[in-house]
Amino acid sequence: MTLPLWPEGPAPGGQARPEPRRLSLVRLAGEIARALAAVGRVAVEGEVYRPQVSRAGRTYFILRDRASQLPVACPARAARRCRAVDGERVVVVGSLLWGNDRGQLVLEAEEVTPVGAGAVAAMLAEIRARLAADGLLDRPRRHLPRLPALIGVVCGTEAAVRRDIESVVAARFAGYPVWFEETTVSGPGAAISIVDALHRVSRRPGVEVVVLARGGGDATALLPWSDEELCRAVAACPVPVVSAIGHDPDRPLCDDVADLRCGTPSIAAHAVVPDRSVLHAELADGLREAAMAMAARTGAARDRVARATPSGALAIGLERAQNRWRRDGERLVWAHPGVSARRGAERLASCDWQGPMEARTGIARERLASAHRHALSLSPQQVISRGFAVVRRQDGQVVRDPGEVVDGQLLELTLARGRLAAYAAPAGPGSSVRTPHVGSSGAATGGGAKRRESRAGRPRATGRYRGEDAG
């Protein structure tokens, strides 16, 4: 059982109550959102209450006055244009949004501007400090082009500023190309519009300088020209920017960031638009100076030609040709290979290349003779030639002691001019050795048989003689 929303029966005044519309919650939220979208962008003034900043950079506070209040949310992308100080009176520019998750109406702020001289001064001081910390106030200023291809002007929709600039253009250089970009230059949300207009003008093809122009006004009307985002856009503009905001005493922050600051839009137009009469005068002076320089050079050349005579010129030319021919001939002589060959032959003839060879041969011959004499002195053959003999056994070992051989062992004796074979026999006091008869062939007679004598109990040793060629 459901209870009715209101009592059944006729409504007061005799009229029947209308039937309620049955809607889902989602559809109801959608209709609320569409109704709020129809409201559009609004500018609401009130007092900031309980401001908070989330980790994502969003700022939340309550905007209230004596009878009502409304929650406000500033996204992180608009944090530079939203200054929320507790208890400060501000103007919030934004749109109404319906939050389905919380079922809450929220004013999403695009810009939060303080109201009051003290609050505005504090906000400007904070912006100036941040710009100075980033080096934008003392950055190097760019020079204005002498003849810009196209001049861009950002101004308001009022006709006074544009008319002043057009009058200066007509007076200095009629028909000079100037592009005007009109936008909102004061009031809530004007800073965003000015930044967008500056981006559009600077990206337009041919624009080489941009003029920010606005008429005079109070401090509140000129507050958008002190916006931090606008100042950073002026510093980052790809072309030079001239600031002409208000009158001479007015100094918004964009004047301190621009490449040139002018007191009025008319002065700015004089700075960027060239004077046609001055250009014509400069061109005339340049042409006159060029004509004078050309006349001077032509006169000097004419004088040189007049002083020159054909015979003298021919003699000078002939002398130059002879000098060149002489230099080329000398270079040819030095470059000819015969000169190098002749010098090489002279150097080869001057050096005694046979002398060192003969000297070295003589030294080598003396060293060889000395070595030969030393070898002969060390040779055992010299000892043998004096009558000594070398006794060897059949295995080639030299006999140095009688105990190394046995009786009847065959031995070989090396003499000065041949060798001799003999048999070992003991030798004692009074023993004699009979020398065998040697034939013409060098072999001993008797066939090499052993002959022993038993006289005195001591056998004799017999041998045979072999020449040097004996085997």
Q: CATH number of the domain at 104, please.
A: 2.40.50.140
pTM: 0.49
Whether 83 and 158 map to the same domain: the answer is: no
- Provide the residue type at 125 as one letter: A
Provide the domain count of the chain.
3
Task: Examine residue 412 and state whether it is found in any structural domain, yes or no.
Answer: yes
Whether 152 and 81 map to the same domain: the answer is: no
Whether 33 and 157 map to the same domain: the answer is: no
Reported as a pLDDT band with limits 50, 70 and 90, residue 13 is: low
Whether 78 and 151 map to the same domain: the answer is: no
Task: Examine residue 333 and state whether it is found in any structural domain, yes or no.
Answer: no
Average pLDDT, the chain: 80
Whether 146 and 45 map to the same domain: the answer is: no
CA distance 179 to 268: 15
Given 272, 298, 329, which residue is the final one in a domain? Answer: 272
More confident of the two residues 14 and 253: 253
Task: Examine residue 108 and state whether it is found in any structural domain, yes or no.
Answer: yes
Whether 107 and 140 map to the same domain: the answer is: no
More confident of the two residues 17 and 345: 345
The answer, yes or no, to whether residue 455 has pLDDT greater than 80, is no
Q: Up-side HSE of residue 446: CA atoms within 13 Å toward CB?
A: 14
Reported as a pLDDT band with limits 50, 70 and 90, residue 449 is: very low
Whether 95 and 148 map to the same domain: the answer is: no
Over residues 3-30, mean pLDDT: 66
Q: Which tens digits make up the pLDDT trace of 47-105?
A: 888 888 888 888 888 888 877 888 999 988 887 778 788 878 888 888 888 887 778 88
- Name the residue among 77, 274, 31, 256 with its Cα closest to residue 171: 274
Whether 146 and 243 map to the same domain: the answer is: yes
Contact indicator for 223, 194 with CB cutoff of 8 Å = no
Task: Examine residue 74 and state whether it is found in any structural domain, yes or no.
Answer: yes
For residue 208, give Cα distances in angstroms to 156, 193, 309.
21, 21, 59
Structural domain containing residue 37: 29-115
Given 228, 249, 272, which residue is the final one in a domain? Answer: 272
Q: What angle do CA 372, 377, 382 make, to 5 degrees?
A: 115
Give me the phi and psi of 384, to 5 degrees please. Answer: -65, -35
Paired tokens of 323: 């000098």
